[in-house]
């Protein structure tokens, strides 16, 4: 290969890498990755000829007003390969198949008994993935990787699940090693809140932002941080465990061993248990939210109280990190203003004002049911080095 064609290959790889990281982009945004406009034009033309990329209509960007005619974007051709996202949670496993154009093709969930253990859970996950692939035009060999999301921290050095997870049978298990062996596909493992943060960054309300925080509410409450355009997981992988920040020193003992953690006051169990006398039959969090929207005063009250507690933790997080936007997602997000208004009020009382308003807190754009699996699939696509596209698709 001569020097000229080596340079052309390198330029093509840079463009494909940028599209994997950020989704469809305009030619002028592609020029900002460090290539001249004329180089971008000729590389895109070559990639269009090769069928690696296609032209797509502009996508909405974070509510910004677009003046003039929106630019045509360039994105990867969806037929080049598939990514799979998996969320392993308490009692369920959800999986989704996306294409490399970041389109969600199919998703489904299965109920699993938490007592069956990690190996059997992953075996059922493999069956679910195969069933879902059967509903698409992709074969197993066209899957470039599987992103697996789990609650709780994944220890960065050892790859083991930490003890502060709600999935007790997984404590001290290396999910990457086990999943690679059982699924027989290239695997990436991450924390559910971190991967949900990637989903909103790539496809949702945080598109194009450099610094933002995502708060994911599930059995526990976790946060994902995007700092300077990259996911920040911390030295040990525990960054963002906002659910274990102390709200009440003398409060209930948390599963982490601490007292009065946010999780003991504002996760789904903590919210619903306040209703055991007034609402017999222990309504689920989804039912509590539905009743609250119908005007049930008790349900509105417990959601507002949860919002105030989350607001305290969010103010502390905001004072440390100074994000541009905070996105709330997961099972509490459908409560909308019933929870978010008291949350904002509580946060505003505690957040540092640098002469400007504190950042907006908004509900995520992606459906809470799929945000984590979409983010897990996006994480695979973002990792060009770990999960190459099939041979011959880029050159
Ligand atoms: Zn805790």
What local confidence, expressed as pLDDT, does residue 2 receive?
76
Distance in Å, CA 311 to ligand 1 centroid? 17
Q: How many CA atoms lie within 13 A of 13 on its CB side?
A: 14
Same fold, 3-76 and 209-365: no
Per-residue pLDDT of the chain (395 residues), as tens digits, is 677 888 888 999 999 999 998 888 999 999 998 899 999 999 999 999 999 999 988 655 444 455 666 678 999 999 999 999 999 998 999 999 999 999 999 999 999 998 899 999 999 999 999 999 999 999 999 999 999 999 888 888 888 887 767 788 888 899 999 999 999 999 999 999 999 999 999 889 998 899 999 999 988 899 999 999 889 999 888 899 999 999 999 999 998 899 999 999 999 999 999 999 999 888 999 999 999 999 999 999 999 999 999 999 999 999 999 999 999 999 999 999 999 999 999 999 999 876 667 888 999 999 888 999 999 999 999 998 889 886 444 43
What local confidence, expressed as pLDDT, does residue 219 receive?
83
What local confidence, expressed as pLDDT, does residue 364 receive?
92
Provide the terminal-to-terminal Cα distance of the chain, rounded to the nearest Å: 12
What local confidence, expressed as pLDDT, does residue 69 receive?
67
| Interstrand relation of 212-217 and 104-111 (parallel, antiparallel or unpaired) | unpaired
User: 81-196+372-382 is classed in which CATH architecture?
Assistant: 2-Layer Sandwich (3.30)
What local confidence, expressed as pLDDT, does residue 41 receive?
95
Distance in Å, CA 158 to ligand 1 centroid? 22
What local confidence, expressed as pLDDT, does residue 238 receive?
84
Distance in Å, CA 42 to ligand 1 centroid? 54
Domain extents in the chain: 3-76, 81-196+372-382, 209-365
What is the C-alpha to C-alpha distance for residues 271 and 144, in angstroms, rounded to an integer?
A: 40
CATH of region 209-365: 3.30.420.40
Q: Are 33 and 27 in contact (CB under 8 A)?
A: no
Cα separations in angstroms, 331 against 112, 221, 286, 300 = 19, 10, 7, 15
Distance in Å, CA 136 to ligand 1 centroid? 41
Distance in Å, CA 168 to ligand 1 centroid? 14
What are 278-287's contacts with CB under 8 Å, separation 24+? 285/331, 285/332, 286/331, 286/334
- State the helix-helix crossing angle for 297-321 and 337-350, rounded to 10 degrees: 40
Distance in Å, CA 256 to ligand 1 centroid? 4
What local confidence, expressed as pLDDT, does residue 11 receive?
93
Q: Does domain 3-76 have CATH number 2.60.40.420?
A: no
What local confidence, expressed as pLDDT, does residue 114 receive?
83
Distance in Å, CA 386 to ligand 1 centroid? 33
What is the C-alpha to C-alpha distance for residues 344 and 325, in angstroms, rounded to an integer?
A: 12
Distance in Å, CA 237 to ligand 1 centroid? 16
């Amino acid at each position: 290969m001569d020097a000229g064609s080596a340079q052309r290959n390198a330029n093509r790889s840079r463009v494909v890498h940028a599209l994997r990281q950020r989704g469809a982009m305009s030619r002028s945004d592609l020029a900002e990755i460090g290539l001249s406009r004329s180089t971008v034009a000729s590389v895109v033309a070559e990639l269009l000829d090769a069928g690696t990329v296609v032209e797509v209509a502009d996508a909405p960007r974070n509510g910004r007003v677009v003046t003039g005619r929106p630019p045509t974007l360039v994105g990867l051709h969806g037929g080049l390969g598939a990514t799979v996202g998996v969320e392993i949670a308490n009692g369920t496993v959800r999986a989704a198949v996306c294409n490399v154009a970041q389109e969600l093709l199919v998703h489904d969930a299965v109920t699993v008994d938490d007592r069956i253990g990690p190996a059997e859970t992953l075996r059922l996950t493999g069956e679910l993935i195969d069933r879902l692939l059967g509903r698409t035009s992709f074969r197993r060999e066209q899957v470039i990787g599987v992103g697996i999301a789990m609650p709780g921290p994944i220890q960065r050095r050892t790859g083991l699940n930490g003890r502060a997870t709600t999935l007790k049978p997984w404590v001290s298990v290396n999910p990457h090693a086990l999943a690679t062996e059982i699924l027989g596909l290239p695997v990436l493992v991450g924390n559910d809140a971190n991967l949900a943060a990637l989903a909103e960054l790539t496809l949702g309300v945080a598109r194009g932002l450099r610094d933002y925080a995502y708060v994911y509410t599930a059995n526990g409450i976790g946060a994902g941080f995007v700092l300077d355009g990259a996911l920040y997981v911390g030295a040990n992988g525990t960054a963002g465990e906002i659910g274990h920040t102390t709200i009440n020193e003398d409060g209930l003992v948390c599963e982490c061993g601490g007292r009065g953690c946010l999780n003991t006051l504002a996760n789904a169990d903590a919210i619903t248990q306040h209703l055991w006398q007034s609402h017999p039959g222990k309504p689920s969090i989804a039912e509590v939210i539905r009743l609250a929207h119908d005007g049930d005063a008790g349900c509105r009250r417990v959601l507002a109280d949860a919002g105030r507690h989350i607001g305290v933790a969010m103010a502390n997080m905001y004072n440390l990190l100074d994000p541009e936007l905070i996105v709330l997602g997961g099972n509490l997000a459908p409560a909308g203003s019933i929870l978010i208004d008291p949350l904002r009020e509580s946060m505003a009382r505690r957040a540092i004002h640098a002469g400007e308003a504190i950042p907006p807190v908004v509900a995520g754009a992606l459906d809470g049911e799929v945000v984590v699996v979409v983010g897990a699939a996006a994480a695979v696509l973002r990792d060009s080095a770990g999960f190459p596209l099939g041979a011959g698709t880029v050159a």
